[in-house]
Amino acid sequence: MENGVVQTVENLKSELVEFLQQMVQIPSENPAGNYVEISHFLKDRLTQWGFKVEVIEVPEEEVKNSGLQTPRKNIIATIEGKQEGPHILFNAHLDTVPAGDPSYWTYPPFSGEIVEGKLYGRGATDSKGRLAAYTMAALALKKSNIPFNGKISIVATCDEETGGALGAGYVTNNKLIEGDMVVVEGYSNQIVRAMAGVLQLKIETEGIPAHAAFKWKGKNAIEKMAKIILELEKLQQNLEKELSSITGMRHTTVNIGVIEGGTKINVVPGTCQIEVDFRVIPEHTLDEIYNRVLAIIEKLQNEDPELKAKVTRISSFETDPTVTSEDSPLINQIQEANKEVNGKSLPVVGMLGQSDSRWFIQNGIPAINFGPGTNDNNLHGYDEFMDIDDLVQTTKVLAVLIKNYVGRNSFAEKRH
């Protein structure tokens, strides 16, 4: 194995850890989404390292039309080779979920404290750890003085935790970034090639309020909703028999995440509503699942003419399932790089979560999910951490991937 970039990553270990630590120490919780400080820091640091850096600010009118108050910023940082060639992208997001009550953290959530080989803090893995690895892998190629053609771009985007429409969605839909392939935030112990679709519904039932002592004068909207909930449970049981062919994806799931109804214990409730999240495997379509819900309600209304229900699709997070072929050259490239560094192949799976990969796929850029960290790193929980050995080792894999990829001018022609 040509180990120039691998050794360079090892030499950059302290710089890599410090870079991640500094990013964790800059809060960028979403909501509300404050990207000013983190974008300034990245622009300065990546420029110092020799990247050509562009900060893309979403027009203020679009931000306001989306119901948001703070500026939305995205960063594209590129290193170019000597000649034209393939263009590889790496995407991670700038925002994190809120840290929550800091008293529940063993170490302060924005400290970046290092204890027993782990770096703690909100975003340590999701997704500043990935951003650190992607950046340093590209820098390792540059510092190794290995000639290459084409481009390497780090695409650091906002708002992934709230859907990504003004982040990865904005830069891809407006063709502000194009490339031959993209590696999107993921885990180091597997390659994710497929992600579930997301369908979210609001279901409302209407009743007639009355005093509880004269219940027969009203119609109980919560009791009507209970019939719908029972049928949704049966739908889940049926869906559990309709398995996905993709490892890790299991089946379409039904989750009733919110329920609201009634005004007072001694009042017959006049309204009730639930919000339901469906994670849809590629073997199903969003419309198919939606129509199955409508059929359930129609059946109930035929049985109970007093049941009045309204179903609304919540469009802000709605997305179709995304799949990259199991024999995709993208996956082969990651496998080859992992074998060079770690001597083994990785499992190739799907998952019921979602990421910004869908925005790239929808705009014709093949995507897979891979990066440092695992789902045991307390993502979205207290004491989120990054294992430093994992961070360094995965950065080595990514550096070899880049070295192999930009050195193969013919690969871009075979990418699909």
Query: Around Cβ 258, how many Cβ atoms within 10 Å?
Result: 11
Q: Which range is least confidently modeled, 2-6, 221-225, 273-277?
A: 2-6
Mark whether 203 and 258 lie in a shared domain.
yes
Q: How confident is the model at residue 3 (pLDDT cuts 50, 70, 90)?
A: low
Answer whether 0.95 is exceeded by the pTM: no
Dihedrals phi, psi of 81, to nearest 5 degrees: -80, -175
On the question of pLDDT at 228 being above 80, the answer is yes
Residue 169 sits in the same domain as residue 225 = no
The whole-angstrom separation of Cα 404 and Cα 397 is 11
Whole-number average pLDDT of the chain: 95
The answer to whether the beta carbons of residues 260 and 185 sit under 8 Å apart is no
Average pLDDT (64-89) is 95
Last residue of some domain: 288, 317, 346? 317
d(CA 172, CA 178): 7
Tokens representing residue 298 in the block: 């129609």
Q: Is the dihedral of CA 280, 285, 291, 292 positive or negative?
A: negative
pLDDT at 135: 98
In 204-354, which ranges are continuous DSSP H helix? 221-239, 286-303, 329-342
| Shared domain check, 209 and 179 | no
Whether residues 104 and 59 fall in one domain: yes
Sequence-separated (6 or more) residues with CB below 8 Å from residue 354: 195, 196, 198, 317, 319
Cα–Cα distances (Å) from 178 to 34, 93, 153, 195, in that order, read 26, 17, 10, 21
How many domains does one find in the chain? 2
Tens of pLDDT, residue by residue over 83-113, are 999 999 999 999 999 999 999 999 999 999 9
User: Residue 150 in contact with residue 408, Cβ under 8 Å?
Assistant: no
Asked if 41 and 160 sit in the same domain, the reply is yes
Question: Do 172 and 268 reside in the same domain of the chain?
Answer: no
Q: Are residues 302 and 387 in the same domain?
A: no
> Quick one: average pLDDT of 395-414?
76
The per-residue pLDDT for 37 is 98
Rg (CA), the chain: 24
Is the CB of residue 181 less than 8 Å from the CB of residue 411? Answer: no
Q: Quick one: 136 and 274 in the same domain?
A: no
What average pLDDT does range 344-366 have in this prediction? 95
pLDDT of residue 243: 98
- Residue 115 or 412, more confident: 115
Which of 297, 317, 337 is where one domain is finished? 317
Per-residue pLDDT band at 407 (split at 50, 70, 90): confident
Average pLDDT in the 329-348 region? 96
Domain that holds residue 358: 4-195+321-414
pLDDT, tens digit, for every residue of 7-26?
Answer: 999 999 999 999 999 999 99
For residue 317, give the 3-state DSSP assignment: helix
Token pair 């469009």 in the structure block, residue: 315
Q: What mean pLDDT is predicted for residues 38-67?
A: 97
Do 326 and 398 belong together in one domain? yes
pLDDT, position 93: 98
pLDDT at 1 over 50: no
Edge-to-edge order in the sheet of strand 308-313 = 253-261, 271-280, 197-206, 308-313
Q: Are residues 180 and 285 in the same domain?
A: no
Calculate mean pLDDT across residues 70-80.
97
> Are residue 156 and residue 258 in the same domain, yes or no?
no
pLDDT at 411 over 60: no
> What confidence score (pLDDT) does residue 414 get?
41
Query: Are the beta carbons of 184 and 193 closer than 8 angstroms?
Result: no
Q: Are both 367 and 271 inside the same structural domain?
A: no
Q: What is the CATH number of the domain that holds 304?
A: 3.30.70.360
* Domain stops at, among 276, 297, 317: 317
Closest C-alpha to 204, from 318, 308, 283, 104: 308
Q: How is residue 391 written in tokens?
A: 């961070």
Mean pLDDT within 332-354:
96
Give the domain CATH number at 118: 3.40.630.10
Report how far residue 132's alpha carbon sits from residue 277's, in angstroms, rounded to the nearest whole number.
Answer: 32
pLDDT digits 0-9 by tens, 267-287: 999 999 999 999 999 999 999
Per-residue pLDDT at 309 exceeds 80? yes
How far, in Å, CA of 219 to CA of 267, rounded? 11
* Mean pLDDT computed over 346-361: 95
Q: What is the pLDDT of residue 165?
A: 94
pLDDT tens digits, 160-188 = 999 999 999 999 999 999 999 999 999 99
Q: What pLDDT sits at residue 317?
A: 81
Sign of CA pseudo-dihedral 397, 361, 89, 385 = negative
Cβ(90)–Cβ(172) under 8 Å?
no
